[in-house]
Amino acid sequence: MVVKLMPGRLMGTVTPPPSKSQAHRALIAAYLAGSVDRLDHLADSQDIQATRRCMEALLSPDEGTPRLACGESGSTLRFLIPVALALRGGGVFTGQGRLMERPQGPYFALFEKKGIAYEHADGVLTVTGRLTPGTYALPGNVSSQFVTGLLYALPLLAGNSEIVLTSPLESRGYVDMTMDVLKRFGVEVQERGGTFAVPGGQHFRPCAMTIEADWSQAAFWFAAMSLGHSVDAAGLDYHSVQGDRVIGDLFARLQWQENMNLDVSGCPDLAPPLAVMAALREGRVTRLVNAARLRLKESERLASIAGVLHALGAEVREGPDSLEIHGKQVLTGGVTVDAHNDHRIAMMTAIAATRCKEPVILTGAESVAKSYPNFWEDYAQVDGRAEQID
């Protein structure tokens, strides 16, 4: 989909969609507990559809190795690899876009120690074997998704296990969210000094749960506020365990009249909206640091952010794991940019275009369906002008 984005003032209130991160976790737990019908306000994004589809395949009475089509959802893939081994003795995983290029090294290192066979070729990952109780050593600085996947699988085993982190845990908030959902569904995990003790022989218990509004999607409306628009994001839980709730604090910091570094290692999904805010902090320099993992998202996201904002007229310097952004009063626009099949790049562009001198043409606008299917409707609701031209 190609849209023409017009400069202009946004005004109104938006309720962000349900939290994709919380919905993945609740949906897996609810399937394991047999209580999917007790989830409320469940997102219907493409990523959540992938988790639903894969859980139904894992719990199907059909014999044989389940085939699990994960779409472009990294959470679906990484959460369910160990769950498939615990429930069915393996699975065949496929994906779209760049999904199957994302690194799975921490799992592969564990599999080699645990005698689990795997083959990753031609965009298909096949894993075969049974998880056994024991110690699972994982680096904490690659992705918290590996920790979450094991936290769902290990309680299903007959004996006790532990996850031992070999390096500091990044994206701490995402593991906190996992622990919160597990507790709600009756699963016990104890954390002590970088070790998660997971008793075996547990059962997920049915639980009624309402999915919170998504702070990572709300961040784009915080970006609009930072750019001077009269926009409000409603329905957010300010006591949420979502790690991206930190956008409120970062938004406040970006109003300061000084140069600053923002560490995004614990909130990488916030980099696109933060970059928009930084691009229009006139006369000030903002550095987004510890951002190397953004290169492993739906797009090579550090390069995508820098490339799109530079095309719009921003001053952005890309480093190996950082972006340095020199703020301007207004952006130029008047160009065609591509979303790089990345939902967050599409939404970043939509917000940035409102402060451009000339209209912006965005290709790949349909990519928002991955996490925020109603984004363009919400954009129009607050007077954002996006004209579909193809």
Looking at the annotation, which residues are catalytic?
A: 269
Closest CA to 293 of 261, 267, 326, 262: 267
Reported residue count of the chain is: 390
Cα four-point dihedral sign 363, 369, 371, 376: positive
Q: Whole-angstrom Cα distance, residue 22 to residue 4?
A: 33
The CA R_g of the chain, rounded to the nearest whole Å, is: 21
Q: Judge whether 91 and 84 are in contact, CB under 8 Å.
A: yes
Using DSSP's 3-state secondary structure scheme, residue 25 falls into helix
Whose tokens are 């001198």? That residue is 357
Q: Judge whether 102 and 79 are in contact, CB under 8 Å.
A: no
Tokens for 282, please give them. 């006139």
Q: Which helix (H) or strand (E) holds 223?
A: helix 215-226
Burial class (CB in 10 A: 0-12, 13-18, 19+), 278: buried
Q: Whole-angstrom Cα distance, residue 331 to residue 349?
A: 12
Q: Which helix (H) or strand (E) holds 305?
A: helix 301-312
Local structure of residue 140 (DSSP, 8 states):
S
310 Cβ neighbours under 8 A, 6+ residues apart: 316
Half-sphere exposure of 195 (CA within 13 A, CB side): 9
Q: Whole-angstrom Cα distance, residue 221 to residue 233?
A: 6
In this structure, are strands 331-333 and 356-358 parallel, antiparallel, or unpaired?
A: parallel
Q: Whole-angstrom Cα distance, residue 282 to residue 326?
A: 8
Q: Judge whether 146 and 107 are in contact, CB under 8 Å.
A: yes
Q: Whole-angstrom Cα distance, residue 125 to residue 82?
A: 13
Closest CA to 289 of 259, 245, 329: 259
